A = this chain, B = another copy of it.
Amino acid sequence: MAQKPSIPKGTRDFSPAEMTNRNYIFDTIKSIFRLYGFQPIETPAMENLSTLMGKYGEEGDKLLFKILNSGDFAAAPSDQELLERNSIRLTNKISEKGLRYDLTVPFARFVVQYRNDISFPFKRYQIQPVWRADRPQKGRYREFYQCDVDIVGSDSLLNEMELVQIVDQVFSKLKINTVVKINNRKILAGIAETIGEKDRIVDITVAIDKLDKIGLEKVNEELLEKGIPQDAVDKLQPILHLSGSVSEKLNQLELAIGQSGIGAKGIAEVRTLFAYLDTLELTTEVELDLTLARGLNYYTGAIFEVKAKDVAMGSICGGGRYDDLTGIFGMPNVSGVGISFGADRIYDVLTQLELFPAATADSTKLMFVNFGAAEEAFCLPVLAAVRKAGINAEIFPDKSKMGKQMTWANNKKIPFVAIVGENEMAQGKINLKNMLSGEQQLVTAQELIKILSA
């Protein structure tokens, strides 16, 4: 007896039911991406290690899945290199390729490689799996899909506005109530500059973030403990007291950090973006959140984060503007902005809130029971007509017991079953059973198509 088959830890199989739900998410997202003029690209699962290494920090390098060179790889290292057993150095000798770790670096590589063919601004989306040799745990996988949309080669804040619109439309369509939090790296830089602590952006942002939880006094204590001088903490106080609407907050910020060039620029960007957003009819809430600090090491302008309101879950979408994505591959000064949808988290939200639709494009709508050759001959032309009308339908392929066939339809969540026996054939009609209500009705082929098309 062969061993029970399994898959590598941290990876997943997706059943038809799961795929149907996943496709519902991806198809929804893609349809909105397209509505806004974004087009798909795909890159290979394997990239040269020279493309990937050094882009995700030392820890990231370790989390890359490396592909063993084909053929006689063991011939390459010297005896000494082999016996040294230094896995990192040995990897360089026996592996040249790795699985992509995210879609950002391959996208940057793509933009640089095809810079002469691309018409900038370049609007692309990309939905593909990525692989990380992370320790698997609940909600963290070694293979998972990323779903990125970016525009590179344009400074216009219209792009930020359209990304918020995309977020709004995607989650409206998915029926998830969200809040979009917006920050701007330049404002954070302006705050740090104003209080004379340029390099402490992160510490300051983390402290601001705790304001609601631990109160002003404790925040100030923490800042001092972290080595921010008393006068800097003093200067920070007005910013810790921001209140009111977005425009009121921006006015207060202007007073506090308007002297800083970069701070003023950040305030202007946020003002413009919110002015754009004010003209739109958004379903989502949008708020200015100065504590938003994701991706501070690469975002240079807007920072976005989206949270679902009716469920406790981390962010389900996020992104921002970066001014030097392609610099690592020798093409500096190409500004871009993008966001990434967290498909697995969105899946969990839709599951928890029971928002997956009962039927999608993947579902079968009608099954014909198979009673044997004569009934089959009657049913097949009707089945063909149903399909011609664009309705997903099938006939049970074997003349099995009725109970087995009905159970099969039930398991596949097929909402209608056509039962044709001798009586029905004699009348030239079909007994159509609604699997949810149990209701049955005798109909002609045309009537059947009409009911199913409704």
A residues apposed to B, CB below 8 Å = 1-8, 11-16, 19-20, 23, 34-37, 39-48, 50-51, 62-63, 65-68, 70-75, 79, 82-83, 85-87, 90-91, 94-97, 99, 109-110, 112-114, 117, 119, 121, 123-124, 129, 131, 133, 142-143, 151, 154-156, 158-159, 162, 279-281, 328-330, 361-362, 364, 367, 370, 376-377, 380-381, 384, 387, 390-398, 407-408, 411-412
Contact = CB atoms under 8 A, between A and B. Distances in A.
B95 A85 contact: no
A14 to B, nearest CB: 4
A6 B40 contact: no
A411 B20 contact: no
Given A41-B16, A83-B82, A154 B397 contact: yes
Nearest to A395: B158
Contact of A74 (B5, B62, B86, B117): B86
Contacts of A384: 280-281
Contact of A109 (B5, B48, B329): B5
Given A6-B113, A7-B47, A14-B42, A91 B119 contact: no
Contact of A4 (B7, B63, B97, B113): B113
Q: So how many copies of this chain end up in the complex? A: 2
Contacts of A376: 158
A121 B398 CA distance: 9
A40 B24 CA distance: 12
A87 B75 contact: yes
Given A37-B364, A47-B7, A143-B45, A68 B67 contact: yes
Given A68-B68, A119-B411, A14 B41 contact: yes
